[in-house]
A and B are shown apart, each in its own frame.
Chain A
Amino acid sequence: MFRNRVRVALVGLAVTTLAVAGCTGPATNSNDGAGSAVNKSLNVYLYQEPAGIFSPLAPVSGPDGQVMSFIDEGLLGVDPSYQLQPRLAESYTVSPDATTFTFKLRSGLKWSDGTPFTSKDVLFTYTMMANPKTTSSTAGNYTGVEGVADFASGKATTVSGFSAPDDNTFVIKATKPNFGLLALIGSVWIMPEHILGKDAPDAVAKNPFFRSPTVGMGPYTFVEYKTNQYVHVTANPNYRNPAKIKDVYLKPMTSDNATAQLGNGGIDIASYSPTDSETVAGFNTVTTQEKPGAGFVRIALNQSKPYFKDAKVRQAFLYALDRKQIVQTVLGGKAEVRLSDFAKANEPAGLNDYAQDVAKAKQLLAEAGWDSNREIQLQWVHGQRDRDATSTIVQSQLAAVGVKVKLVNIQAAEIPKTYAEKTYDMVLYGGGNYAVDSSTINGITACANAYPAGGNINFFCNQQLDELMAQANSTADEAQRKSLYDQAAKLANDQADLMWLYSPYGLWAVNKKVQGFQAPGSQDTLFWDPASWTITG
């Protein structure tokens, strides 16, 4: 009697499970044939779930950007060594006075839906990006373009600084010499005018196209985004150099999970954390690549507070730290110590490396009149292992020179307020990319860019530095720029505008069957040239 019931119950359980699993799983079977589909598809790890808005108008988001690096292209692109390379543009020239940028587009290019690609699309995209009415989050970057002010205020219907004299040429004119404009707006993803051109400016950002951007100029075309599961892109037959791998699945998951799946073949390309180095090295199915990152972890000292205004204090703080040791213990050596905001490749030789010197630190603090009873707070967003560890090490190393530091965990959402109200003392954070063109450093050092007008959140202000940076940016002469930036770097290094800590390496593991992958400098940097990747065997 009871046995019957048990049987019934078990059958019921089995049926229920099957029914539920069947109903919520995907409804169709792929008809590729399981064997060949495996060879023609690639699984790539995404470090975070994309927001699902694949639009150049939206605030920059790492994972969404990484998806767009498959399906979109710009006039120029940034390669893993942070050099600007021509993409949709075949070549470009900059006038000697650095005010005019002329792009020659490649001829014969087509959108993924077959429509011819012309300078009309470029003009449309740039006008849209410069227009604050479209809620373009980077509209502020275009204020350096001639005619944007009149356009934004409604006095003009077009931006005079953007012009397309013929189908294959696009010209940008700056309001004043501004070489850095190239790096700032030269790699914007170009959007299809034939799909979005009819939208009014305040409606274009809401166009559902950006949720499902099936038309693009990139080597792959968007297929679907199954929320929180994967983004599926497939090879674009109309790309100028058709991709060899048919389908790519970008899957968000935790880093531990990704490492495990590197081992069992579920994921083919993934970034991994230094703590997993040994595990990943033990997988005989993957090879690893390391690439120095452009972003760097740093501590900003709030220079609106009187006790941080003296450069001696800032220098002392740097002398107190043993940054080489931090890199060794916290990151297993997989990072490089930074000496300035300038990328290593762009830095001059001979900068002060602020090697740990406790005696010197104490001396400088004494000279500056540091009050050893003062307690200052170091705030940071908890959650990244290396930053959590670094904070405690910094606290103890500063304590050794007589500076009392209290560690404060803060939520990402609360940080802007501490900047706006200038209430914080020290904040530890990372990111940034000043490697493509050193003029971008201005965003965090210029007096005029004090938060909220710009990214100078530590309220550093040095007129001489601003002048050097402005001069460097106003000439197209390579040698002159280098010389001026070198002077600026030496000045900033001497003035210790920020406590530069380290640039973590981008650590990537690639399944041996994948060729051609070039590791980007960090887990959130865009992927480079996916069309050149192949799967062997």
Chain B
Amino acid sequence: MAAFLVRRLAINVLVFFLITIAIFALVHKTPGDPIAMQIPADQLNSGSAEFIAQKRHELGLDQSLLMQYWHWLTNALHGDLGYSLLNGRPVTEVLGERIGPTVELMGVGLLISLLVAFPLGILAARRRNSLVDYGATVVSLGSVSIPVFFVALIAIYVFTLKFQWFPSSGISDPTNPGLLDSLHHLVLPAVILGFGNSGPFMRYVRSSMITELGADYVRTANAKGASPRRVVLRHAFRNSLIPVLTVIATNLPQLLAGAVVIEQVFAWPGMGQLAVSSVNQHDYSVIVGFALLIAILVLLSNLLADVLYTVVDPRVRLR
């Protein structure tokens, strides 16, 4: 196991470096100048050209791409990811204040989607081709096909406007903050997110359970007189978790990429919002920092998935 981990980590580091080069080059090569676009045409004055040149020099944008990358890399190895081109704040600070709300939203969303997916999936597997199964299929197809922003807008209309049950924006009410208020703001976005993600999980659980329920040991357990519930939940369920767990683990980077659409609609101050706005404004440092974070997470979560697989299934050995 140890040898495997060391080798994988070494490969990950190499891949990581290649990713940084690719992202850096791509981001800087996109057409358009982030400084020039800060000044719309009707505000141009005789000093604008000098202002733009000055700012570019200050931010090091007039150096060659290689020099810029080198500076960035040497700083990044010390934990300094540079400064936002828009407001000069350290990128680590900008990313740091967004991670909390995103983890909160996605974490709860993930839990909700699993809470929906598992019971539905198990039920559908047990009563295959019955009304329950078809119903679950419709629900899972719905969750995948109906655009999330559409559901979100309907939810805002119904729950915020008509019934006035839930607030529709932000993470808290500044005049009346508190735990209950935070939860109140969390309900709509988390539930919609959870619903949207539950479809694929439900299908995985269902198919994995169906495979397990056809296995010999299940037959044995049934023959021995174990109750159906015991067979399903105590025996088959655990074994069916194996592929599902790896799917969940590889979906972890979603956690930090953030549910972009949900965050936009609900004004949730998370990473997804940051990604959209920094791309729109060509904020190179933030885009690179953000992409890096995702790259690290993808690499780590893949590693986690592989390790988890061996832990959960003793038949598999890592070489």
Which residues of A does B touch, CB under 8 Å? 1-2, 13, 16-18, 20-26, 28-30, 32, 34, 37-38, 41, 49, 51-53, 59-60, 132, 135-141, 143, 206, 211, 226-230, 232, 247, 249, 251-254, 256-257, 260-261, 263-264, 266, 411-417, 419, 429, 431-433, 443-444, 451-455, 457
CB of A2 within 8 A of CB of B233, answer yes
Q: A264-B164, A453-B46, A455-B42 are in contact. Are A24 and B179 (CB under 8 A)?
A: no
CB of B103 within 8 A of CB of A20, answer yes
Residues of A within 8 A of B265 (CB): 254, 256-257
**CA of A24 to CA of B37 in the docked complex: distance in angstroms?**
34
CB of B108 within 8 A of CB of A132, answer no
CB of B267 within 8 A of CB of A29, answer no
Which residues of B does A touch, CB under 8 Å? 30-34, 36-51, 54-55, 58, 86-89, 94, 97-98, 100-101, 103-104, 107-108, 111, 115, 153, 156-157, 160-161, 164, 167-172, 174-179, 181-183, 186, 229, 233-234, 264-267, 269, 273-274, 277, 280, 282
CB of B41 within 8 A of CB of A135, answer no
**Can you report 30 A-B residue pairs in the complex whose CB atoms are below 8 A from each other?**
A2-B234, A16-B107, A17-B111, A17-B183, A20-B104, A20-B107, A21-B182, A25-B179, A29-B176, A30-B175, A53-B87, A59-B39, A137-B38, A138-B43, A138-B47, A139-B45, A139-B47, A139-B50, A140-B51, A141-B45, A229-B171, A249-B174, A256-B265, A260-B157, A411-B31, A413-B36, A414-B32, A417-B31, A417-B32, A451-B44
Residues of B within 8 A of A229 (CB): 170-172, 174, 267, 269
**CA of A137 to CA of B49 in the docked complex: distance in angstroms?**
10
CB of A455 within 8 A of CB of B47, answer no
**CA of A454 to CA of B176 in the docked complex: distance in angstroms?**
48
**CA of A258 to CA of B38 in the docked complex: distance in angstroms?**
26
**CA of A18 to CA of B87 in the docked complex: distance in angstroms?**
34
What 8 additional pairs, Cβ within 8 angstroms, besides A25-B182, A229-B172, A230-B170? A13-B111, A20-B108, A26-B182, A254-B264, A257-B267, A431-B40, A432-B42, A452-B44
Q: A51-B87, A260-B168 are in contact. Are A18 and B48 (CB under 8 A)?
A: no
Question: For residue B88, which residue of chain A has the nearest CB?
Answer: A206
Residues of B within 8 A of A1 (CB): 234
**CA of A49 to CA of B274 in the docked complex: distance in angstroms?**
11
**CA of A449 to CA of B86 in the docked complex: distance in angstroms?**
27
**CA of A139 to CA of B169 in the docked complex: distance in angstroms?**
39
CB of A24 within 8 A of CB of B174, answer no
**CA of A151 to CA of B186 in the docked complex: distance in angstroms?**
55
Residues of B within 8 A of A21 (CB): 104, 108, 179, 182-183, 186
Residues of B within 8 A of A417 (CB): 31-33
Question: For residue B51, which residue of chain A has the nearest CB?
Answer: A137
Question: For residue B165, which residue of chain A has the nearest CB?
Answer: A264
Q: A16-B111, A22-B182, A132-B54 are in contact. Are A257 and B41 (CB under 8 A)?
A: no
Residue in A20, A21, A253 with the greatest tally of chain B CB atoms within 10 Å: A21
**CA of A266 to CA of B176 in the docked complex: distance in angstroms?**
12
Q: Which of A16, A249, A261 is close to B160, meaning CB atoms less than 8 Å apart?
A: A261
Rounded to whole Å, the gap between the CB of B238 and the closest CB of chain A is: 11
**CA of A413 to CA of B52 in the docked complex: distance in angstroms?**
14
Residues of A within 8 A of B175 (CB): 30, 32, 34, 37-38, 41, 247, 249
Residues of B within 8 A of A266 (CB): 160, 167-169
Q: Which of A29, A261, A454 is close to B44, meaning CB atoms less than 8 Å apart?
A: A454
Q: A2-B233, A52-B89, A411-B32 are in contact. Are A454 and B46 (CB under 8 A)?
A: yes
Q: Which of B88, B178, B179, B267 is close to A253, meaning CB atoms less than 8 Å apart?
A: B267
CB of B179 within 8 A of CB of A415, answer no
Residues of B within 8 A of A443 (CB): 42, 44-45
**CA of A98 to CA of B40 in the docked complex: distance in angstroms?**
29
**CA of A298 to CA of B48 in the docked complex: distance in angstroms?**
23
**CA of A94 to CA of B24 in the docked complex: distance in angstroms?**
54
Residues of A within 8 A of B40 (CB): 431
CB of B37 within 8 A of CB of A140, answer no
Rounded to whole Å, the gap between the CB of B235 and the closest CB of chain A is: 12
Residues of A within 8 A of B183 (CB): 17-18, 21
Question: For residue A457, which residue of chain B has the nearest CB?
Answer: B41
CB of A138 within 8 A of CB of B45, answer yes
Question: For residue B267, which residue of chain A has the nearest CB?
Answer: A253
**CA of A432 to CA of B42 in the docked complex: distance in angstroms?**
5
Residue in B108, B182, B183, B265 with the greatest tally of chain A CB atoms within 10 Å: B182
Q: Which 10 A-B pairs have the closest CB atoms?
A: A413-B32, A140-B47, A140-B45, A25-B182, A26-B177, A228-B269, A253-B267, A140-B46, A432-B42, A139-B47
Question: For residue B170, which residue of chain A has the nearest CB?
Answer: A229
**CA of A257 to CA of B266 in the docked complex: distance in angstroms?**
7
Q: A413-B33, A443-B44 are in contact. Are A25 and B181 (CB under 8 A)?
A: yes
Question: For residue A53, which residue of chain B has the nearest CB?
Answer: B87
Q: A16-B111, A30-B177, A251-B267 are in contact. Are A452 and B49 (CB under 8 A)?
A: yes
Rounded to whole Å, the gap between the CB of B293 and the closest CB of chain A is: 17
Q: A138-B47, A143-B47, A227-B269 are in contact. Are A260 and B41 (CB under 8 A)?
A: no
Residue in B43, B58, B97, B161 with the greatest tally of chain A CB atoms within 10 Å: B43
**CA of A511 to CA of B250 in the docked complex: distance in angstroms?**
48
Residues of B within 8 A of A451 (CB): 41, 44
**CA of A498 to CA of B137 in the docked complex: distance in angstroms?**
57
Rounded to whole Å, the gap between the CB of A341 and the closest CB of chain B is: 10
Q: A53-B88, A229-B269 are in contact. Are A25 and B44 (CB under 8 A)?
A: no
Residues of A within 8 A of B46 (CB): 140, 143, 453-454
CB of B58 within 8 A of CB of A135, answer yes
Residues of A within 8 A of B108 (CB): 17, 20-21
**CA of A260 to CA of B152 in the docked complex: distance in angstroms?**
12
Residues of B within 8 A of A38 (CB): 175
Q: A13-B111, A20-B107, A37-B176 are in contact. Are A414 and B31 (CB under 8 A)?
A: yes
Residues of B within 8 A of A415 (CB): 37, 41
Q: A137-B51, A414-B32, A416-B36 are in contact. Are A25 and B111 (CB under 8 A)?
A: no
CB of A132 within 8 A of CB of B153, answer no
**CA of A17 to CA of B43 in the docked complex: distance in angstroms?**
48
Q: A24-B104, A132-B47 are in contact. Are A230 and B160 (CB under 8 A)?
A: no
Residues of A within 8 A of B50 (CB): 132, 139-140
**CA of A433 to CA of B98 in the docked complex: distance in angstroms?**
36
Residue in B111, B176, B274 with the greatest tally of chain A CB atoms within 10 Å: B176
Rounded to whole Å, the gap between the CB of B283 and the closest CB of chain A is: 10
CB of A455 within 8 A of CB of B100, answer no
**CA of A23 to CA of B107 in the docked complex: distance in angstroms?**
13
**CA of A13 to CA of B55 in the docked complex: distance in angstroms?**
49
Question: For residue B183, which residue of chain A has the nearest CB?
Answer: A21
Rounded to whole Å, the gap between the CB of B39 and the closest CB of chain A is: 5
CB of B89 within 8 A of CB of A260, answer no
CB of A232 within 8 A of CB of B174, answer yes
Question: For residue B185, which residue of chain A has the nearest CB?
Answer: A25
CB of A260 within 8 A of CB of B100, answer no
CB of A49 within 8 A of CB of B45, answer no
CB of A59 within 8 A of CB of B44, answer no
Q: A20-B104, A30-B175 are in contact. Are A140 and B48 (CB under 8 A)?
A: yes
CB of B43 within 8 A of CB of A60, answer yes
Residues of A within 8 A of B111 (CB): 13, 16-17
Q: Which of B55, B100, B267 is close to A252, meaning CB atoms less than 8 Å apart?
A: B267
Q: Which of A17, A25, A59 is close to B177, meaning CB atoms less than 8 Å apart?
A: A25
**CA of A253 to CA of B170 in the docked complex: distance in angstroms?**
8
Residues of A within 8 A of B177 (CB): 25-26, 28-30
